[in-house]
């Protein structure tokens, strides 16, 4: 596929998406979000792509909304149209079957931070920053920042970040549980690719079921979530991969999962 604002490559069941507007600090304009949505929609239908890595070109992961587009929002209806157009892309990252790893190669601010929040795992380079500076513009995050951030870190820390609008560095992000790991800048992609390869070798039906059950279960009462977990467990007990995993364990060998 040919894109104007993103690059896409795939290898060994792993797809890598790179936000490619380095001259604009990978700001999220309408074209980028539209292309990203189209690509993710295609990936979501493919069983040969098991894991996705999302990163940015250059020194920024993503600086947030494109300020030129944001400046054209003059009325509540303008804002409504913008959110209705853009928010589905963030939701799609969260809802596609495949785990999505954010390889945060630099500042992830505003919408860029919200893009990270929608991913399943976040690996940060040492020069990464995370922030929701919208309050400094007299607004609030509009793509999930006020809702996903407090679900990932403590409510108190999330409120502090949102109230003050000041970014935190990668090590603070790790301390509060926002990122899984902090690595040197030159090791970021190799670490993410290693993790993606490890996940891609897991039994696929179990992998995508875990993502779905965790994401859906966190938003319902405990008893409903436990019932969802039980039904999913029962389903997976009928798969070929479950039988292969158990047999391999008994035979003390590496399992050969087929995704079935």
Domain CATH number, residue 190: 3.90.226.10
The reply to whether 18 and 81 lie within a common domain is yes
Is 15 among the domain residues? yes
DSSP 3-state percent helix, strand, coil across the chain (nearest 5)? 50, 15, 30
The reply to whether 117 and 245 lie within a common domain is no
Entry pTM = 0.94
**What region does 134 belong to: left with phi over 0, alpha with psi -120 to 50, or beta?**
alpha
pLDDT band of 79, cuts 50, 70, 90: confident
Q: Sheet containing 107-109: give its strands across.
A: 107-109, 129-131, 168-169
Closest Cα to residue 49, out of 92, 84, 96?
96
pLDDT, tens digit (0-9, with 9 covering 90-100), for 11-29: 999 999 999 999 999 999 9
Going by the DSSP 8-state scheme, the letter that residue 201 receives in this structure is T
Q: Average pLDDT in the 88-108 region?
A: 96
Residues sharing a CB contact under 8 Å with residue 151, sequence separation 6 or more, in sequence order: 218
The reply to whether 35 and 78 lie within a common domain is yes
The reply to whether 143 and 225 lie within a common domain is no
Is 113 among the domain residues? yes
The reply to whether 79 and 172 lie within a common domain is yes
Is residue 240 pLDDT above 80, yes or no? yes
Give the structural domain span for 237: 204-251
The reply to whether 106 and 214 lie within a common domain is no
Q: Average pLDDT in the 220-243 region?
A: 94
Provide the domain count of the chain: 2
The reply to whether 148 and 246 lie within a common domain is no
Cβ count within 10 A of residue 206: 17
Distance of CA 177 to the CA centre of its chain: 15
d(CA 151, CA 167): 18
Is 260 among the domain residues? no
pLDDT band of 35, cuts 50, 70, 90: very high
Distance of CA 180 to the CA centre of its chain: 12
Catalytically annotated residues: 114, 134
Q: Average pLDDT in the 162-184 region?
A: 98
Is residue 119 pLDDT above 90, yes or no? yes
Is residue 86 pLDDT above 90, yes or no? no
Q: Average pLDDT in the 91-105 region?
A: 97
According to the model, what pLDDT value does residue 75 have? Answer: 87
Is 1 among the domain residues? no
């Amino acid at each position: 596929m040919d894109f104007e604002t993103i690059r896409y490559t795939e290898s060994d069941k792993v797809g890598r998406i790179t936000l490619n507007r380095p001259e604009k600090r990978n700001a999220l304009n309408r074209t980028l979000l539209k292309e990203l949505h189209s690509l993710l929609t295609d990936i979501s239908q493919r069983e040969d792509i098991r894991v996705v890595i999302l990163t940015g070109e250059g020194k920024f992961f993503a600086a947030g909304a494109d300020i030129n587009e944001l400046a054209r929002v003059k009325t509540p209806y303008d804002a409504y149209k913008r959110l209705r157009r853009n928010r589905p892309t963030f939701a799609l990252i969260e809802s596609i079957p495949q785990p999505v790893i954010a390889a945060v190669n630099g500042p992830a601010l505003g919408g860029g931070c919200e893009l990270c929040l929608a991913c399943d795992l976040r690996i940060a380079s040492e020069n990464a920053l995370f922030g929701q500076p919208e309050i400094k513009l007299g607004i609030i995050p509009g793509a999930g920042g006020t809702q996903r951030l407090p679900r990932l870190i403590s409510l108190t820390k999330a409120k502090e970040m949102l109230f003050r609008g000041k970014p935190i560095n990668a090590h603070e992000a790790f301390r509060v549980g926002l990122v899984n790991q902090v690595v040197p800048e030159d090791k970021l992609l190799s670490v993410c690719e290693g993790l993606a390869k490890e996940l891609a070798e897991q039994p696929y039906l179990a992998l995508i079921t875990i993502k779905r059950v965790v994401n859906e279960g966190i938003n319902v009462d405990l008893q409903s979530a436990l019932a969802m977990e039980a039904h999913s467990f029962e389903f997976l007990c009928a798969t070929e991969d479950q039988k292969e995993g158990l047999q391999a364990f008994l035979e003390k060998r590496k399992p050969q999962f087929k995704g079935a």
